[in-house]
Chains A and B, each alone.
Chain A
Amino acid sequence: MSSNNSVMVFIQQDDGKVADVSVELLSKARDLADQLKVSVTGALMGSGIKGEAEKLIPYGVDEIFVIDDKRLIDYTPVPYTKIMIEVIKKVKPQIALYGATTTGRDLGPRVASNLKVGLTADCTSLEIGDYTSRGVDYSNILYQIRPAFGGNIVATIVSPEKKPQMATVREGVMKVGTQDPGYKGKVTPFTVDLVDTDFPSTVIKKMKEEKLVDLKGAQIIIAGGMGVGSKENFDLILELAHVLGGEVGASRAAVDAGFVSKEHQVGQTGTTVRPKLYIACGISGSIQHRAGMDESARIIAINTDHEAPIFQIAHYGIVGDLNDVIPKFIKAFKAKD
């Protein structure tokens, strides 16, 4: 299948390892490409990363363009933008997707600005559909769906006239597809003429702290929102998490209020989670928060306001003060044996 008109993914690598979000996007790209009856392509830049590219083919990737250069070991905007633009100009994908990571959100806008094409940030859903504007019909257009305006609305954005149609997508939103070990795809070296002035930025130090909070891997998450009321009251959330062997989550409002640190934030601008059990305590349930947790297998909502939107996606609802409900929960769980 020709790589032209494909669905392309910018494949992000960190320290030589492909980012989870890129695998998720390749899987989503396969879905979209099947609907459009086109191929899936990828662009991977870094140093000594050809082997990583080969590992991605089984996700249904038809061709990965690899740009291998020692100077590309760390992401910096200028050379990566130059390369991505050249790859897009050569391969002419109809769609290009980026993870909404600090890297993707740094790179995507520069590429869009240079090519004068649209870019929609932080999509939570991507679909293919038709669009009519001023009497012109466009078929098989990418619907770029995202919460907007502080999470009060959901907007469907299209950019039908310009190719590629581009979007950044949050990590954890798209599911990783199944692998087909026999899938026939190829890894193609791609050269871009890079000169020293293409590397104005130098990464002189990189510090990654040990991840203390693992929301993505947690099976049980107990999350607190503004309804918790204070940093002190948040101890009750910590206690329930400890008793149930779960991780602590929070809404953006609770993080902004300083109840708990940002690593705990669940939602569109935080982490997207899919645990077995999500207990939302004093969280009203804005669209942005729900976008990050509504695929949890079981949701328990505890809230004093019986009209809080969180109840509409919950499997169990308890109307009441969490300071009153949680101790009962802990007591009941401890009494299970």
Chain B
Amino acid sequence: MGLNLIVLVKQVPDTQNVGGDAMKEDGTVNRAVLPAIFNPEDLHALESALVVKDQNPGSTVSVITMGPPSAVQVLKDSLYRGADYVALISDRKFAGADTLATSYALKCAIEKIGKYDIVFCGRQAIDGDTAQVGPQTAEKLGINQITNVSQIESVDAKKKEIQARRSIEGGYEIIKAPFPILLTITDEGYTPRPPSVIRVMTYKNASAEMTEQGYDESYIDSSVDRISETAINLWDINAIGAEIESCGLAGSPTKVKKIESIVLKSEDIKMVENTEDSISDMVHELISDHTLG
């Protein structure tokens, strides 16, 4: 029995490989020098959805991202790896969204797709590390969630039920829950598959097209060969039926008051020469003040 699977992904600046030029002199982030990448844990979320699809023939994987037009890159990448249907929600009115406004827009997009059994997200994005958008979206959809999932233990399409392994401090727990459910996936349990050569050839010229068309059963029926239908759906605020006051800056209760690159207070640092005598002196100092025993 086929399942309807939705994956939420994000394009992020690669903050894990930041060079010395990442910050401008005025203390703001120099986005221009940071390459944009597929948020790492979102790739694991996509992989987990594709695994569920492989195990449940007839399932479809729809991928949604919100971002500027350049974010189509993560959707193309999703198509290359096996996604069936992709949508970019993009509108100037979404600019300045915090996690609350972001989750509202994603909720609207998910409801436009309509039917879903499982929504997959990466646990958190490396540019904010908040891990909030997944749970906030689940609450807005009025559905249950399992966060920090390292492994999906089993999916029972007939009973419409999932068992998942959730990482907790110092261990894990196994949670059983019915559909619909939102999962946030960690990077522990899945190895993202590489893009397929055939799919890259098929989708490399795919471009985003404005569409009012939402979820259409025939369109995403996997038994139909749709390889020629390569459109990336582009949805604006009207297409997803979002209320403007809940989007972007207007829908974001949190404001950034101040951003600073920390200037460290210079302590009375004692520089120790890299010689046996100097290091021995330091060790004796630490022993005499009972730091070392």
Partners in one complex: yes
The yes or no answer to A207 lying at the interface (CB within 8 A) is yes
Q: Are A131 and B257 in touch, CB under 8 angstroms?
A: yes
Q: Are B146 and A112 in touch, CB under 8 angstroms?
A: no
Q: How large is the interface on B (under 10, 10 to 19, 20 to 34, 35 or more residues)?
A: 35 or more
Q: What chain A residues lie within 8 Å of B137 (beta carbons)?
A: 113
Q: Are A109 and B132 in touch, CB under 8 angstroms?
A: yes
Q: Are A336 and B284 in touch, CB under 8 angstroms?
A: yes
Known interface pairs A77-B135, A201-B146, A318-B274; A311-B269 also in contact (CB < 8 Å): yes
Q: Are A109 and B135 in touch, CB under 8 angstroms?
A: yes
The answer for the CA separation of A151 and B16 in the assembled complex, in Å, is 9
Q: What chain A residues lie within 8 Å of B15 (beta carbons)?
A: 149-152
Counted as pairs of residues, one from A and one from B, with CB atoms less than 8 Å apart, the total is: 235
Q: Output the least CB separation between B266 and chain A (Å).
A: 6
Flag B186-210 by CB within 8 Å of A: 1 or 0 each: 0000000000000000000000000
Q: Residue A150 contacts which of B126, B258, B284 (CB distance < 8 angstroms)? A: B126
The answer for the CA separation of A117 and B132 in the assembled complex, in Å, is 13
Q: What chain B residues lie within 8 Å of A149 (beta carbons)?
A: 13, 15, 29, 127-128
Known interface pairs A121-B131, A153-B29, A203-B173; A159-B280 also in contact (CB < 8 Å): no
The yes or no answer to A160 lying at the interface (CB within 8 A) is yes
Q: Are A153 and B254 in touch, CB under 8 angstroms?
A: no
**Nearest CB to that of A244 among chain B residues?**
B292
Known interface pairs A116-B253, A317-B269, A332-B280; A153-B23 also in contact (CB < 8 Å): yes
Q: What chain A residues lie within 8 Å of B170 (beta carbons)?
A: 208-209, 211
Q: Residue B253 contacts which of A143, A162, A268 (CB distance < 8 angstroms)? A: A162
Q: Are B136 and A112 in touch, CB under 8 angstroms?
A: yes
**Nearest CB to that of B255 among chain A residues?**
A158
The yes or no answer to A241 lying at the interface (CB within 8 A) is no
**Nearest CB to that of A111 among chain B residues?**
B139
Flag B108-149 by CB within 8 Å of A: 1 or 0 each: 000000000000000000111111111111111000111110
Q: Residue B261 contacts which of A114, A153, A290 (CB distance < 8 angstroms)? A: A153
Q: Are A328 and B172 in touch, CB under 8 angstroms?
A: no
| Binding site secondary structure of chain B | mixed
Q: What chain B residues lie within 8 Å of A312 (beta carbons)?
A: 264-267, 269
**Nearest CB to that of A129 among chain B residues?**
B257
Of the candidate stretches B161-169, B216-224, B231-239, the one touching chain A is: B161-169
Q: Residue B276 contacts which of A206, A208, A332 (CB distance < 8 angstroms)? A: A332
Interface size of A in residues (CB-CB distance below 8 Å): 88
The answer for the CA separation of A74 and B257 in the assembled complex, in Å, is 37
Q: Are B276 and A203 in touch, CB under 8 angstroms?
A: no
Known interface pairs A207-B171, A209-B170; A155-B256 also in contact (CB < 8 Å): yes
Q: Are B257 and A203 in touch, CB under 8 angstroms?
A: no
Q: Are A317 and B271 in touch, CB under 8 angstroms?
A: yes
**Nearest CB to that of A202 among chain B residues?**
B176
The yes or no answer to A81 lying at the interface (CB within 8 A) is yes
**Nearest CB to that of A333 among chain B residues?**
B283
The yes or no answer to A176 lying at the interface (CB within 8 A) is no
The yes or no answer to A122 lying at the interface (CB within 8 A) is yes
Q: What chain B residues lie within 8 Å of A111 (beta carbons)?
A: 139
Q: What chain B residues lie within 8 Å of A320 (beta carbons)?
A: 274
Of the candidate stretches B78-86, B89-97, B98-106, the one touching chain A is: B98-106
Q: Are B253 and A316 in touch, CB under 8 angstroms?
A: no
A-B contact pairs, 30 of them (CB 8 A): A77-B144, A77-B147, A106-B135, A109-B135, A110-B136, A117-B100, A118-B254, A119-B99, A119-B100, A121-B129, A131-B257, A133-B255, A150-B15, A152-B15, A152-B29, A155-B258, A156-B259, A159-B253, A161-B253, A205-B173, A205-B174, A208-B170, A245-B293, A276-B291, A309-B264, A312-B265, A312-B267, A332-B280, A332-B282, A332-B283
A residues bordering B, Cβ < 8 Å? 74, 76-78, 81, 101-103, 105-114, 116-122, 131, 133, 143-144, 148-162, 200-209, 211, 220, 244-245, 256, 268-269, 276-277, 287, 290, 297-298, 300, 309, 311-320, 324-325, 328-329, 331-333, 335-336
Given A113-B140, A159-B255, A318-B279, list of 10 further CB < 8 A pairs? A102-B169, A106-B145, A106-B148, A110-B136, A117-B100, A148-B259, A149-B127, A297-B291, A332-B276, A332-B283
B residues bordering A, Cβ < 8 Å? 13, 15-16, 18, 22-23, 27, 29, 98-100, 103, 126-140, 144-148, 163, 166-178, 252-262, 264-276, 279-280, 282-284, 286-287, 291-293
